Amino acid sequence: MHEIIEIGLTVVDVPARRRVSRHRVLVRPTRSTVSDFCTELTGLTQADVERGVTFSEACRILVEEYGAGTRPWTSWGEYDRRQFARQSQADGVAYPFGYPTERTHTNAKAVFTTAYGLGKKPGMDRALQIAGLPLEGRHHRGEDDAWNIAALVLDLLDRGAWPVTATVV
**160 Rama sector, left if φ>0, alpha if ψ -120 to 50, beta otherwise:** left
Range of the domain at 103: 6-158
Q: How many domains does the chain have?
A: 1
In this structure, is residue 70 part of a structural domain?
yes
In this structure, is residue 107 part of a structural domain?
yes
pLDDT digits (tens, 9 = 90+) for 98-132: 865 556 899 999 999 999 999 999 999 999 999 99
Measured in degrees and rounded to the nearest 5, phi and psi for residue 67 equal 65, 35
CATH number at residue 117: 3.30.420.10
In this structure, is residue 12 part of a structural domain?
yes
pLDDT digits (tens, 9 = 90+) for 66-106: 999 888 899 999 999 999 999 999 999 999 998 655 568 99
pTM value is 0.93
Report the DSSP pairing between strands 6-13 and 18-26: antiparallel
In this structure, is residue 167 part of a structural domain?
no
In this structure, is residue 24 part of a structural domain?
yes
In this structure, is residue 1 part of a structural domain?
no
